[in-house]
């Protein structure tokens, strides 16, 4: 009977800590649990706490009893752009622009797990595996390509795991996905004239699923206490922003300066990739665990954002190249991610964790723009764990190093130098009962 109030508490906390704004490699976020994050996000083979709902639902049978985990990530991004090729539209603008790094961006990771019996485990999670926000300063020279872009997702996932044999378990999760998006860019009217504005906003609701396996390859083999192979699959999702929930509008400072474009309901889609991950987890000497994960992201399904307006005049304005290149071509490429990390329990109370990850960007030089000026990324993670009785805390710091990028073949001819760096702090409060 104690489970019900805990479930309610977890759901309420998850809703309060719903994602604000985040920025990821393309827009996939690896920060889905503070403990796993400290180990480079390499957790598919281990997955022995409630965050298994996302990392590998098969691991829900490995947790002890019942537990709840309330977590959050705090992002401190730093992004800048330099017009080294003289491509800025308004020659009165400066050649350097900064993204909005003065705001703390937050996402939540909240999970409940329950090992019902020796062979059945249940879980429920609310987390944000995809999201982005790039907010350029008001007078940035690249505001005519993008002044603000945001995508937020929230996954509500019940999951179940079954122990199929002494060494093999399987799990399945079904996710209800809520997403909202906003895109804004300024419209250049002419020298000395105020800018116009293009804005697109909408909501989508979709379903996805995940499946996982864990297999114990070895147990109690000398120093090796356990070697576990894990594998997961997260389905691709097409976020369908229907005209009933999406709108576009144009604002012009003076009448007659641009084609008339009434506010209109619109529709469009954004593709989220399928994700395949294989991982190994080795437990050594009772206190040490070392993990390795390799993931494949099927980004190549994301070809374009094609905006279709119900109003014909608005559609003609959307198709006007000077206002917005519609469709917004993406032509993403499939990518690989490698994660490695581990933890060591110093005693029964304190653990230390380290991790590293390399994440490829799916964005090609031709389509790299201020909407999401992404690059290949290197992560360095360090964290610790504390436990006392039924209560535990996990804390992680992540430094994200983006490789410098300088476009040379941008489809709009907007070739710019970009530099980025991010600090991320992750925290989870856990209660076992």
Neighbours of 128 (CB within 10 A): 23
pLDDT at residue 4, as a whole number: 37
Q: Band the pLDDT of 256: cuts 50, 70, 90.
A: low
Higher pLDDT, 57 or 9: 57
pLDDT, tens digit (0-9, with 9 covering 90-100), for 332-384? 999 999 999 999 999 999 999 999 999 999 999 999 988 888 899 999 999 99
pLDDT, tens digit (0-9, with 9 covering 90-100), for 128-139? 999 888 889 988
Higher pLDDT, 404 or 39: 39
3-state secondary structure (DSSP) of residue 14: helix
Neighbours of 329 (CB within 10 A): 14
Domains, the chain, with CATH or none: 3-432 (2.40.160.60)
State the DSSP H helix or E strand holding residue 34, giving kind and residue range, or none if neither.
helix 34-38
Pairing between β-strand 288-297 and β-strand 335-345 as defined by DSSP bridges: antiparallel
Q: Band the pLDDT of 280: cuts 50, 70, 90.
A: very high
Instruction: Determine the Cα–Cα distance for residues 179 and 429; give it in Å rounded to an integer.
Output: 26
Neighbours of 322 (CB within 10 A): 12
What number is the average pLDDT over the span 216-244? 93
| pLDDT above 70 as % of the chain | 91
Higher pLDDT, 380 or 144: 380
């Amino acid at each position: 009977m104690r489970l019900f109030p805990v479930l309610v508490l977890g759901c309420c906390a998850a809703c309060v800590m719903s994602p604000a704004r985040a920025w990821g490699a393309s827009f996939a976020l690896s920060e889905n649990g503070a403990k796993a994050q400290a180990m480079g996000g390499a957790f598919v083979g281990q997955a022995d706490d409630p965050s298994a709902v996302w990392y590998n639902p098969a691991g829900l049978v490995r947790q002890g009893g019942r537990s709840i985990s309330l977590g959050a990530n705090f992002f401190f991004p730093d992004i800048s752009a330099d017009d080294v090729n003289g491509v800025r539209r308004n020659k009165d603008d400066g050649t350097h622009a900064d993204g909005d790094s003065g705001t703390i961006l937050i996402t939540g990771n909240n999970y409940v797990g329950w090992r019902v019996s020796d062979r059945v485990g249940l879980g429920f999670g609310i987390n944000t595996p995809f999201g982005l926000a790039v907010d350029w300063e008001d007078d940035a020279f690249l505001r005519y390509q993008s002044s603000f872009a945001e995508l937020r997702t929230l996954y509500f996932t019940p999951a179940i795991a079954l122990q199929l044999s002494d060494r093999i378990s399987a799990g399945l999760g079904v996710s209800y996905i809520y997403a909202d998006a906003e895109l804004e860019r300024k419209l250049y009217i002419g020298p000395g004239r105020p800018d116009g504005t293009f804005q697109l906003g909408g909501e989508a609701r979709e379903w996805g699923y995940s499946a996982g396996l864990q297999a114990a390859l070895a147990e109690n083999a000398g120093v090796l206490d356990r070697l576990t192979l894990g594998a997961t699959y997260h389905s691709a999702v097409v976020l369908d922003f229907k005209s009933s929930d999406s709108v576009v509008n144009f604002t012009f400072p003076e009448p007659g300066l641009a084609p008339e474009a009434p506010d209109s309901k619109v529709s469009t889609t954004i593709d989220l990739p399928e994700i395949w991950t294989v991982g190994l987890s080795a437990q050594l000497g009772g206190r040490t665990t070392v993990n390795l994960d390799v993931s494949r992201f099927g980004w190549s399904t994301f070809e374009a954002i094609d905006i279709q307006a119900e109003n014909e005049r608005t559609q003609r304005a959307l198709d006007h190249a000077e206002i917005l290149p519609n469709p917004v071509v993406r032509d993403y490429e499939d990518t690989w991610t490698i994660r490695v990390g581990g933890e060591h329990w110093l005693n029964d109370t304190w653990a230390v964790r380290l991790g590293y990850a390399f994440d490829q960007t799916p964005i090609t030089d031709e389509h790299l723009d201020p909407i999401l000026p992404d690059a290949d990324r290197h992560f360095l993670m360090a964290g610790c764990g504390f436990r006392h009785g039924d209560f535990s805390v996990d804390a992680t710091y992540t430094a994200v190093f983006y490789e410098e990028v300088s476009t040379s073949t941008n489809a709009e001819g907007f070739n710019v130098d970009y530099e980025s760096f991010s600090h991320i702090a992750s925290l989870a409060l856990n209660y076992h009962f």
